[in-house]
Amino acid sequence: MKDLRNEDAPILEALNRYKSMRVLPFDVPGHKRGKGNPELTEFLGEKCLTIDVNSMKPLDNLCHPVSVIKDAEELAAKAFGAKHAFFMVNGTTSAVQAMVMSVCKKGEKIIMPRNVHRSAINTLILSGATPVYVNPGTNKEIGIPLGMSVKDVEKAILENRDAKAVLINNPTYYGICSNLKAITDLAHKYGMKVLVDEAHGTHFYFSDKLPMSAMEAGADMAAVSMHKTGGSLTQSSLLLINNDINKGYVHQIINLTQTTSASYLLLSSLDISRRNLALNGDKIVDRIIELAEYAREEVNKLGGYYAYSKELIDNDAVYDFDITKLSICTLGIGLAGIEVYSILRDDYDIQIEFGDLGNILAIISVGDEDLAIERLVSSLYDVKRLYAKDGAGMLDHEYINPEVVLTPQEAFYSEKESIPIEKSEGNICSEFVMCYPPGIPILAPGERITKEILEYIDYAKLKGCSLTGTEDEKIEFINVVKG
């Protein structure tokens, strides 16, 4: 094994060597280092286009790494405390798919919270695995789903001893964390694997001031969105494995769905960002915490808004909280989160991560400055001053317990018919309905359509949420299982 150091960046170094070699390209991509597409080169820059290259001997191959990509993955595993790290270029969606498909085959059970990202339920459609949903706790005061209670997970495990795995999303979009260590130990006691959708938790690995990471808790696999809070390019991610997980088999599963034409722009961004975090992660996260805590304090001084934090902790459905998340409840000013989101974007040129029916989330990163926080806070003050109204009739929750009738795969591939959504009550849904972001389904394939769900969808439309998932782009018709 090579003597690899945190300071190394094997993919970056290989690309720099390649650029100095003046290789004549008779391979793909067809733009030939930008020469064939001057307009694209002008837009993205020559430096970018010259490293948009194909896999080749000096640059290794993501489908079967033996040199520089292998070295870069080993360094990532070291930085994240994992047995191995796979570089993913199809986003964390592909990492979640690989996790589930590595441990669950068709018909086998997996225990998971229902407020998972659509990528997890998509995986059930692909694999045929059967979900056992654990309904999360809810906080109606701020209108959000919480984490999973250990008692609820234990009940699900005892009632489904044949389940192969437990999947946990930690943290949630809002920053809520479950008791990861207790759930992991419990699942392992009964011979189940633990998979963690850690899309929003990259930074957990680089600070002792934040909740426990999946690898520290002893989880078997974790999907980590490096691009969200780790500084890499959009669509680049990591899949971490631990314990006795078979690396070779997981790689075979990854290669079922991941591209054979991996982008070196994405790969090099993972390599560079890993090096930066390994060398400076504690300082980076300290700065993010400082900015987020200041922003939360200033927002709460405005009145009406509620930027929540560790006071939500109840050692049950809220075991811990990610203090880097600036999650703000807007119900106190009589506006849905999506309304505040739209006003900030349209009137103040401020793009936040998402707005739902009761909350907004502003992502704070090392790329932010004090002045940016001040602008956000002052804009929120203006929104309150100009648009606040009586909150009567506001929806008080973001989660409805589903009635699961069929597995997602059975429902999705069943014979179906399209009917007006207002006449669909009582039918079994065969597609998704969700607000995106955050991408947590309101309805998933196999679930009964109820009056409460239809009222929720109507309310979301009224408030301006971006609804997606159905074949019908206007969400006026919905596909249901043909009776």
Which CATH number is 420's domain given? 3.90.105.10
Mean pLDDT throughout 212-231? 97
The reply to whether 115 and 240 lie within a common domain is yes
Model confidence at 395, pLDDT cuts 50, 70, 90, reads confident
Whether the pLDDT of residue 463 is over 70: the answer is: yes
Residue-level pLDDT at 156: 98
Q: Is the pLDDT of residue 118 over 60?
A: yes
Strands 176-177 and 320-321: antiparallel
pLDDT computed for residue 394 by the predictor:
79
222 in the same domain as 91: yes
User: Do 97 and 189 belong together in one domain?
Assistant: yes
In the predicted model, what is the mean pLDDT of residues 409-417?
A: 97
Q: Calculate what percentage of the chain has a pLDDT beyond 90.
A: 91
CATH of the domain at 298: 3.90.1150.10
The reported pLDDT for the residue numbered 438 is: 80
Residue 244 lies in a domain: yes
Q: Say if 224 falls within a structural domain.
A: yes
pLDDT of residue 440: 86
Task: Let me know whether 80 and 223 are in one domain.
Answer: yes
Provide mean pLDDT across the span 197-224.
98
Q: What is the pLDDT of residue 436?
A: 78
Q: Which residues have C-beta within 8 Å of that of residue 290, sequence separation ≥ 6?
A: none
Task: Note whether residue 358 is domain-resident.
Answer: yes
Q: What number of CA atoms fall less than 13 Å from residue 447's CA on the CB side?
A: 24
434 and 380 part of one domain: no
In the chain, the number of structural domains is: 3
Give yes or no: residues 176 and 217 share one domain: yes
Here the CATH number for the domain that contains residue 195 is: 3.40.640.10
Taking all residues of the chain, what is their mean pLDDT, rounded to a whole number? 95
Mean pLDDT, residues 295-324 taken together? 97
Asked if residue 140 is part of any domain, the answer here is yes
Query: Mean of the pLDDT values across residues 263-290?
Result: 98
Confidence of residue 435 (pLDDT cuts 50, 70, 90): confident
Q: Is residue 77 part of a domain?
A: yes
Residues 221 and 299 in one domain: no
Are 289 and 245 contained in the same domain? no
- Tell me the residue range of the domain where 477 lies: 408-481
CA atoms of 341 and 352, how far apart (whole Å): 7
Residue-level pLDDT at 416: 96
Same-domain check for residues 290 and 381 = yes
In a domain, 194, yes or no: yes
Average of per-residue pLDDT across 349-364: 96
Assess whether 285 and 192 both reside in one domain: no
Given pLDDT bands bounded at 50, 70 and 90, which one contains residue 400? confident
Is 315 part of any domain?
A: yes
Measure CA of the first residue to CA of the last residue in the chain; give whole Å.
60
Strands 84-88 and 237-241: antiparallel
Domain shared by 248 and 354, yes or no: no
Nearest residue to 61 (alpha-carbon basis) of 11, 9, 120 = 11
- On the question of pLDDT at 60 being above 70, the answer is yes
pTM above 0.85, yes or no: yes
What pLDDT sits at residue 279? 98
pLDDT band at 393 (very low <50, low <70, confident <90, very high): confident
Share of the chain above pLDDT 70, in %: 99
Question: Does residue 394 lie within any of the structural domains?
Answer: no
Same-domain status, 117 and 237: yes
